[in-house]
Structure 1
Amino acid sequence: MFNPTDFPKPAFISVNGVKLEVFEAGRQNAGKPIVLCHGWPEHAFSWRHQMAALDAAGYHVIVPNQRGYGNSSRPTEVTDYDIERLSGDLIALLDHYGYEDAAFVGHDWGAMVVWGLTLLHPDRVNKVINLSLPYQERGEKPWIAFMEEILGGDFYFVHFNRQPGVADGVLEEHTFQFLRNLYRKNEPPAEPQPGMALINLARAETPRGEPLMSDSELAVFVSAFETSGFTGSINWYRNLDRNWRILAEANPIIQQPTLMIYGDRDAVSRSENLTTFVPNVEVVHLDCGHWIQQEKPEETNQAILSWLERQDAT
């Protein structure tokens, strides 16, 4: 397990009207940037197993807590969390370091941001590595309406939008219990329960499966969300339909070399037409659940580093 005291100390960098809490490794490798983008409900600390490996491979590793998370700014307007602003933060971060472009790595919601960033600012992204969440095709119908039709009003994406504040309050009331119950591995299969799954999870007194991390690692996440609350991070979900409109004018094809890493036991659906939108993609499957880079750190590092090495050789 990782000792949290070994995690780098942050810098606070003003970008795009907010301050981001940014953790770094490999500053001596200036000129070869790689930016790691966490998911929900996570933290830059979720990349703790990757930072040293990427530093050793010659990369300048830049790991922000994105807006709404950790000690980064938490604007109050819902629209302050749309894809334009989230990707704008990352572009401004590149500008801060004087970089024209970088490799970007995203997990979960971080992957959603990296896909959107690459569509909106293709000249600033030279490689894409995404974990768990594949490219989401922009269909005829806005995403939340589409999900509501298929998955119903209790599906958490829909619930966050249709009942603002309800889930936020429950998760804040049960922060430790929610995160302890969420960050698990090797969970036995279970029948879907009625109601809103994440609210049920936050209220469940007994966790399922095995803990993903040590108590001291979990404490980093719990402490961060006890400070920040959940509303800023959940506001990312409340911009899905706005993002759908923002991306209407973007060329939907991603030309950059891309690595897609799936966990075979992840509940997130795989893409059936990934190569239609991401023609230069290589796909890797790991035997794990959703928290890929934390559950299988060595295998994740190996997949990323060997792929990067092949890209640099061409």
Structure 2
Amino acid sequence: MRLSLLALTAAALLATPALAAPLELALPDGAAVSAEATTAATSYRLLTGPWQEGAGPASTLEGTRTDTAWRLRADQETTLQILAPLRDQIQAAGYTILYQCETEACGGFDFRYELDLLSEPEMHVDLGDFRYLAARHGTDWLALTVSRSSESGFVHLTTMTVQDVRPVTPDNPLAAPTPAPAIAPSDFATQIEAKGAVALDDLIFESGATDLGPEDFASLRAMADYLSTRPEAVIVLVGHTDATGGLEANIALSKRRADSVRARLLADYGVAPEQLSAEGAGWLAPRASSLTPEGRDKNRRVEAVLAPTRQ
């Protein structure tokens, strides 16, 4: 299988000539992703040497971190056989190997527990048989750990794109949020009647949250104006979530978000109750990858869907 490690937009803003090209790793046939996570604006201590007498060399990085773990088929014979082809691909992509080691040469037990890996059983590390590699290409860094059990091989890849993590200020406009354009009533009517649905992108939901802020939302005003001139129209508000957590819980969460929007339209904009209903789709209809913070933000949304006209 293949994994695309895309250079993140914020890294490009640093305007350095040493940016890494997108990296694709070909894993052995039968490899399956067992766990993955992405964290924006975080720090990570990437080990670059052996662990000895309670310490070891490392580079402390700040930026966007991604972690992916794979489980391999049981016929992988040694950790070196797992590592070697991945190492070749990493070097071919322009990365410089900073450090690589095997078990005791790494520092054994102490080295392994300095590695910040995804947890068992998704990523298993045999304390008597593992290998590690650290590499860098411009602002992109990576740490690769491989191990095996009696039943499977395991691969863990951490990538770190170094970038400015300071909050947006007048002196630091990097990654400043772009306000969602207001939807004029005429635009809302054109979009929903032409496409059947409109994403209410000026509504902001934090991960796991359902409440709207107290401000006036242009998309809700445009929807209310549309419905007031079309008393026969019915709109279904459909909530969507990112892919954090289980499906059942996210369907319930997305339904509560849609209910929150419906309640606001009834209370503050005077929409007739019979013109609105609310449903939840969870993470079943993403419009972006939930592997990145930007993708998760896009997926947390409520859409207005035009229902068949009442007879």
Identify whether the pair has TM-score above 0.5, normalized to the shorter chain. Answer: no
**What is the TM-score when the length of structure 1 is the normalising length?**
0.22
TM-score normalised per structure 2: 0.23
Whichever structure has more helix as a proportion of its residues is: 1
Of structures 1 and 2, the larger Rg is shown by 2
Higher relative contact order (CA 8 A, sep 6+): 1
